[in-house]
Chains A and B, each alone.
Chain A
Amino acid sequence: MRVLPFVTLLGLALLLGGCGGGGGGGSGGGTPTAQNVQPISVEAGPARIINILFVSVIVCAPGSSVNCQTIDHVQVDTGSSGLRLLSSVVSPTLSLPQQTDVNGNPLVECARFADGFSWGSVRLADMQVAGEQAKSLPLQVIGDPAFPSIPASCSNSGPPENTVPTFGANGLLGIGLFLQDCGVACAESPIPGAYYSCPATGCVPISLPLARQLQNPVAMFSADNNGTIIELPSIPATGAATSAGSLIFGIGTQANNGLGGAKVLATDPNTGYIATRFGSQSYATSYIDSGSTLFFIGESLYPFCTGTAAGFYCPATTQNLSATLEGVNAISSVADFSIVNADQATAANPSFFAFDNLAGPAGNPSTFAWGLPFFYGRNVYTAIETKQTPGGAGPYFAF
């Protein structure tokens, strides 16, 4: 990774923009996009996994405008909150300060996902993306060599995802529905498999006040801080080698991020779930998640693939489908989508990394996860809990 001395005009424009609040439109210094717009892309990336949505962010030592590093290929995730970076891509010269508990012991986090866990230190950085800035942002440095010993209560949750190949990206930009990654549960009591205090004698689970937990970086921006829009263009049914779009910060805060005709689907305030009606079934555990690489639906909807896409669905013929997404506010919206034979689609174009029609089993008969395939050809809004928008307060998804 590159360490960029932050003395360019571009850098100054970004820094000034981050403090400026309103405005919008193109900013100076050759910046190609508005203050609240950051390019995003789907491409091979460092782990060559299909349908990973990438963004670049700049992290700086807190308070510094020169000790900064651009981290590319960070995955954009509407299914979690908080910035996580793999230790191997973070320059040691940044010297991001280790966070500590009330007794001065190092804070380390176990981040648990449906498909595994990531273990690493909680540190502090200033983060910049487009013209926005989150100062003094607690972030997780995954695989930090300073804390090599992983407690069983963390590793007992599934496969380890502590390296770039196993994590699938250089980091994760969690811009989901919630203000913190864990929330009140972790503030009230020590939860095994969440936050740990790590004195020399070993790591033990601790409770952690909300403000010390990993924060949704968007909520810490001085403006455009109530949510995001992910805009990706339509792609051919055969897929595409790459796809490029925009991550827009704020909902209804600038000329470029109005809700337009998008329908607001309020989510359950605790789980972030909506419901999906598909066929004759209602899926109560449904969510829109840019961090999931497929449509993950039900348990055994179609035959499983047996080739290179083993574990995905392989219907004999292309399925042209329609489902209804329902918010807890009783607003619903129909989504048309297709599911192709994943073995055939990926074998036909082995160098393609963007597909809008791949699906797999969800891990539960009542789960319907609208992963990245859903985002192609749509503008998908994610509104953060408690934040006001022209469509009401978050948490909600809209499209």
Chain B
Amino acid sequence: MHCDLRPSWWHAALLVAAGLIAGIATCPVQAALGEPVASVETDRLQVGGTLRVLPSAAYTVHELQAPSGTVVREYVSPAGIVFGVAWQGPSMPDLRQVLGTYFDPYVQAASKRNARGPVAIAQPGLVVQSGGHMRAFVGRAYIPQALPAGVAPDAIR
């Protein structure tokens, strides 16, 4: 099943009509990098995983723990945009869902590498880092230009 949670007109219509989306429960719900977080707040409540929201002055962290034990953190700007994501745990998260429209550029860049092991992609508009090994993965991604004022990349981890 395709698991696209990017906001769209039909998505919004479903939300209004049903109050929840039955099929969405098969997807660990979270907003994707570079996209508004507000559109999926309702979906988030339907998920079995646990969610913690950690507000701070410069940004808010939405921390989602999947049943597999992997934790995904979304870093949300005051404007409501996900400017960074980080993950850690025994299972690699669904990176297409986490990275959204940035997934395909990530795969394209990572495929060009002539090495095996951790991946680090640093493009002008996108940083993706994926490391660890089976049973213990760690990684993060962010949009350098979207970091709120005063927030360093080190905050995303």
Mark A residues whose CB is within 8 Å of B: 49-50, 52, 75, 79-81, 111-116, 152-153, 156-159, 166, 168, 176, 178, 181-183, 185, 189, 191-194, 270-273, 285, 287, 289, 291-294, 296, 299-300, 304, 311-312, 360-367, 369, 371
A115 in contact with B92 given A182-B135, A271-B136, A299-B129 (CB within 8 Å)? no
Q: A272 to B80, alpha carbons, bound, how many Å?
A: 37
Q: For residue B130, which residues in chain A have a CB less than 8 angstroms away from its CB? A: 114-115, 158, 363
Most-contacted residue by chain A among B97, B115, B157 (CB, 10 A)? B115
A289 lies within 8 A of B110 (CB): no
Contact of A189 among B67, B117, B138 (CB under 8 A): B67
10 A-B contacts (beta carbon < 8 Å)? A152-B1, A176-B133, A178-B134, A183-B135, A185-B69, A185-B90, A189-B67, A287-B133, A364-B132, A367-B138
Min CB–CB distance A282 → chain B (angstroms): 14
B117 lies within 8 A of A311 (CB): no
B3 lies within 8 A of A152 (CB): yes
Tally of A-B Cβ pairs under 8 angstroms: 166
Nearest A residue to B96, CB-CB = A156
Contact of A311 among B94, B95, B113 (CB under 8 A): B113
Contact of B131 among A194, A270, A369 (CB under 8 A): A369
Interface bracket on B? 35 or more
Mark B residues whose CB is within 8 Å of A: 1-3, 67-69, 90-92, 94-97, 103, 106-107, 110-111, 113-120, 122, 129-140, 153-154, 157
Q: For residue B132, which residues in chain A have a CB less than 8 angstroms away from its CB? A: 114, 285, 287, 364, 367
A364 in contact with B131 given A115-B118, A152-B3, A159-B110 (CB within 8 Å)? yes
A271 lies within 8 A of B135 (CB): yes
B134 lies within 8 A of A365 (CB): no
A153 in contact with B117 given A79-B133, A113-B134, A185-B68 (CB within 8 Å)? no
A369 in contact with B129 given A192-B94, A193-B92 (CB within 8 Å)? no
Q: For residue A293, which residues in chain B have a CB less than 8 angstroms away from its CB? A: 115-117
Nearest B residue to A183, CB-CB = B135
A294 in contact with B115 given A114-B133, A364-B157, A366-B157 (CB within 8 Å)? yes
Q: A191 to B1, alpha carbons, bound, how many Å?
A: 15
A270 in contact with B135 given A156-B96, A158-B107 (CB within 8 Å)? yes
Nearest A residue to B106, CB-CB = A158
B157 lies within 8 A of A361 (CB): no
A285 lies within 8 A of B103 (CB): no
Q: A363 to B110, alpha carbons, bound, how many Å?
A: 12
Most-contacted residue by chain A among B110, B116, B135 (CB, 10 A)? B116
Q: For residue A193, which residues in chain B have a CB less than 8 angstroms away from its CB? A: 91-92, 94
Contact of B120 among A113, A287, A311 (CB under 8 A): A311
A285 lies within 8 A of B138 (CB): yes
A272 in contact with B135 given A189-B67, A292-B116 (CB within 8 Å)? yes
